[in-house]
Copies of this chain bind each other. A is one copy, B any other.
């Protein structure tokens, strides 16, 4: 492998000159720049990442911890991941992927100076990784919202707002009894923040608008979906709309409703909370509150880069939810009294 000295020699300049044409950190005359670039091309020169990291304290790598928990839809995780990777490349960074959910991995890559910054997914309300992250010298952004962010940046969809928006959207279309089919019990038990936040928003807005609201957890499986539907129908017999925040169970919830003789959207409306791709690719496309996973990943990178390059202060960014109509929410407001469907 050619080194920077080889390049300098064949270009007839000093090593620093080569370094500076590479970094652009000082002006170089056109002729020398050209000679250097030619030498680089001829020798197929690539700076040695380790040497560069050692000298500059910059690795051009960020860590991404993407725990592949059961019950969390992998396609959603993948969206976050690609969002992060794509955005990172934009900032000349690569991504080191950690899939095991432990503080040790974060500590290893950060303390060992393998990365310039960290992005951590699937944050729980009281997440054991947060205190560690707060001690690192590299900036971190959390995807999710812990109870105590300890000075770290956070980014996520505003799930509480999404819960409210869902109820408001349905209420405005004449629905007076709505259900939320949510995350699996395991997700709730570990107090993953989004599950609790959407529920809070859902309930508070239902109360405010005097809408009857039921919530059921839902295992991410066909049988789990059937059970959830049954228990929701038992709890809220008059339910006319159901919000589903569970990508894996989503298709099964819809088919479970059908199996019980409830058509979508004539008998019961369905509003999903999921990435647009998921809502579109259902057997019948579903209206949804989009979870812009790819975007969130990209924003996480932007935030972390802003902290690195301009030591921008920490902040929390909650993306505003919006409803995308794909026809699975029925407008009942034309029907004055809940009556017999045609």
- What residues of chain A have their CB less than 8 Å away from a CB belonging to chain B? 1, 44, 46-54, 59, 61, 64, 68, 74-75, 77-78, 81-82, 85-86, 89, 94-100, 108-109, 111-114, 137, 221-222, 251-252, 255, 281-283
Q: Which of B54, B68, B77, B95 contacts A97, CB < 8 Å?
A: B95
A-B contact pairs, 20 of them (CB 8 A): A46-B108, A47-B112, A48-B112, A49-B112, A49-B114, A50-B52, A50-B54, A50-B113, A53-B53, A61-B114, A68-B82, A74-B75, A75-B75, A78-B78, A81-B99, A85-B98, A94-B96, A94-B98, A221-B281, A222-B282
Known: A81-B97, A81-B99, A94-B114. 12 other contacts (CB 8 A): A1-B113, A46-B112, A47-B112, A49-B59, A49-B114, A50-B50, A50-B54, A61-B96, A61-B114, A85-B99, A86-B100, A255-B283
A51 B49 Cβ-Cβ under 8 A: no
- Within 8 Å CB of A95, what residues of B? 96-97
- Within 8 Å CB of A282, what residues of B? 222
A49 B113 Cβ-Cβ under 8 A: yes
Whether A222 touches B283, Cβ cut-off 8 Å, given contacts A50-B52, A51-B54, is yes
B47 A50 Cβ-Cβ under 8 A: no
Q: Which of B51, B108, B222 contacts A50, CB < 8 Å?
A: B51
Assembly stoichiometry (copies): 2
Please measure, in the bound complex, the distance between the C-alpha atom of A96 and the C-alpha atom of B59, giving whole angstroms. 12
- Within 8 Å CB of A97, what residues of B? 64, 81, 85, 94-97
Q: Which of B48, B89, B111 contacts A46, CB < 8 Å?
A: B111
A89 B100 Cβ-Cβ under 8 A: yes
- Within 8 Å CB of A109, what residues of B? 94
Please measure, in the bound complex, the distance between the C-alpha atom of A96 and the C-alpha atom of B60, giving whole angstroms. 12
Whether A50 touches B46, Cβ cut-off 8 Å, given contacts A85-B97, A89-B100, A109-B94, is no
- Within 8 Å CB of A255, what residues of B? 283
Taking each of A81, A114, A281, which has the highest tally of chain B beta carbons within 10 Å of its own beta carbon?
A114
- Expressed in whole angstroms, the minimum distance between the Cβ of A167 and any Cβ of chain B is 29
- Within 8 Å CB of A283, what residues of B? 222, 252, 255
Please measure, in the bound complex, the distance between the C-alpha atom of A53 and the C-alpha atom of B49, giving whole angstroms. 9
- Expressed in whole angstroms, the minimum distance between the Cβ of A31 and any Cβ of chain B is 27
Nearest residue in B to A222 (C-beta to C-beta)?
B283
- Expressed in whole angstroms, the minimum distance between the Cβ of A96 and any Cβ of chain B is 6
- Expressed in whole angstroms, the minimum distance between the Cβ of A51 and any Cβ of chain B is 5
Please measure, in the bound complex, the distance between the C-alpha atom of A151 and the C-alpha atom of B136, giving whole angstroms. 43
Nearest residue in B to A110 (C-beta to C-beta)?
B46
B113 A48 Cβ-Cβ under 8 A: yes
Please measure, in the bound complex, the distance between the C-alpha atom of A111 and the C-alpha atom of B44, giving whole angstroms. 9
Please measure, in the bound complex, the distance between the C-alpha atom of A100 and the C-alpha atom of B86, giving whole angstroms. 8
Please measure, in the bound complex, the distance between the C-alpha atom of A78 and the C-alpha atom of B59, giving whole angstroms. 26
Please measure, in the bound complex, the distance between the C-alpha atom of A280 and the C-alpha atom of B252, giving whole angstroms. 14
